[in-house]
Amino acid sequence: MFVYLDHTATTPVSPEVLQAMIPYFGDIFGNPSSVYSFSRKSRSAIEKARKQVADALNADTSEIFFTGSGTEADNWALKGTLEKAKIAGKNHIITTRIEHHAILHTCEYLKKVEGADITYLPVNSEGMVSVEDVKNAITDKTAIVSVMFANNEVGTIQPIKEIGALCRERKIPFHTDAVQGAAHLDIDVKAMNIDMLSMSAHKMYGPKGVGALYLRKGMRPENFIHGGAQEKGRRASTENLAGIVGFGEAIEILKGRLNEDKAINSSRRDRLIAGILERIPHAKLNGATGDNRLPNNINFSFIGVEGETLLLDLDSKGISASTGSACSSESLDPSHVLLALGLKHEMAHGSLRFTIGRLTTDEHIDYLLEVLPEIVARRRAMSPLWEDYLKSIGEK
């Protein structure tokens, strides 16, 4: 059995999306920037997709700019805004400790190259940023506030509307990395006071290599990719025609089944969470519960075992999952997100993330609940840390 429980890493392109894309790899290949009538088909396909994306967010088509990825959209929003704000003497960025590396590494770059001053806001034990902390961090030098919509590791949904309102009142551009959130949640950029929003097609059953940045009317970050006049001269590069078409289809389908998906995913999520807590002793759920958690995210720490070990054991049973352990990264430090939630290193090393989606069935949940307890128990039995833990709580 192939049990894919890593929908947050990426999703398969849905068959309808693929069908919509195919003509643009073949007959309809014209460069959208060319003048002749043959290219009009390519141009109108892009404009259709732009409308599909704009409609999904309650934005105007003139506010959607296609990019090569969610990461690029994040880079553009942060670098472009800071560069512009520097002219007005503003060089302060407010963000959080739980952002994706697309934000964190961009901030580090801006600190190094542009001398930007970065405030990394803490989160509570459930991974939630406090609006009060954002308020207190704002200075007259603040150029941009960037808070992710929902966290990719633990699934905590942030108080975006409130932070947006605060920033709007203080006239500070507010950006949100919604690469995860946009794939699951009802987002209304107007109602939520969002100035800039990044997203990515491959998280929503669309193709890899295409994303978008929503820029509210009046937002004019410096350009990030320089070249031709595509995207109204604001994002050069010959358009990823088929990719953009796929993105438009994917987001329209996603939006159409949002409530249905949310209901089924949250019910499976909660069944999996309850099942793990019931079957595995000393399992700790990381992140929030209920409506404050992405409907598809399950993240646990199992004291005494290391995440990569569990991933490989699960892989041998046909299950694909993810971990915040250092062993799955290039460094020796475990997930910065789990550490920001206040987890000890050994708990962060022992984390597993399961993210469900369209490939998930009830049988997959049952199967995982059947094999995971044995896997954890077997690896714990060979761990000196588990033994020490049992002694420390007086169970051995």
- Least distance CB 309 / another protein (angstroms): 6
How many residues lie near another protein (CB under 8 A)? 27
Q: With contact defined as beta carbons under 8 Å apart, do 249 and 52 qualify?
A: yes
Check binding of 148 to another protein (CB under 8 A).
no
Task: Choose among 73, 118, 68, 72: nearest CA to 97.
Answer: 118
* Residue 325 engages another protein in binding (rule: CB under 8 A): yes
- With binding defined as CB under 8 A, does residue 359 bind another protein? no
- Which of 18, 369, 377, 385 touches another protein (CB under 8 A)? 385
What number of other Cβ atoms are within 10 A of residue 393's Cβ? 9
Residue of 327, 359, 369, 377 that binds another protein (CB under 8 A) = 327
106 burial (CB, 10 Å; 0-12 / 13-18 / 19+) is: buried
Q: Does 339 bind another protein (CB under 8 A)?
A: no
Residue 298: closest CA among 372, 363, 386:
372
345 binds another protein, rule: CB under 8 A? yes
Nearest Cα residue to 95 out of 73, 70, 120: 120
Q: What is the C-alpha R_g of the chain?
A: 22
Q: Is there binding between residue 152 and another protein (CB under 8 A)?
A: no
Contact 217, 234 (CB under 8 A): no
145 closest CA partner among 219, 200, 196, 83: 196
CA–CA distances in Å: residue 297 to residues 101, 150, 226, 242, 290: 19, 10, 37, 30, 11
Q: In terms of CB distance, is 10 or 289 closer to another protein?
A: 10
Q: Is 167 a catalytic residue?
A: no
Among 35, 330, 394, 395, the residue binding another protein under the rule CB under 8 A is 330
Q: Which of 170, 328, 342, 367 touches another protein (CB under 8 A)?
A: 328
Residue showing tokens 């049973």: 317
The answer to the question of residue 318 lying near another protein (CB under 8 A) is no
Taking the complex as a whole, the smallest distance from the CB of residue 51 to another protein amounts, in Å, to: 38
If one asks whether residue 315 binds another protein (CB under 8 A), the answer comes out as yes
Q: Is 382 in the site for another protein (CB under 8 A)?
A: yes
Catalytic hit among 9, 28, 264, 327? 327
**Which residues are known to be catalytic?**
327
The site for another protein (CB under 8 A) is made up of 304-306, 308-309, 311-312, 315-316, 325-328, 330, 332, 334, 344-346, 349, 381-387
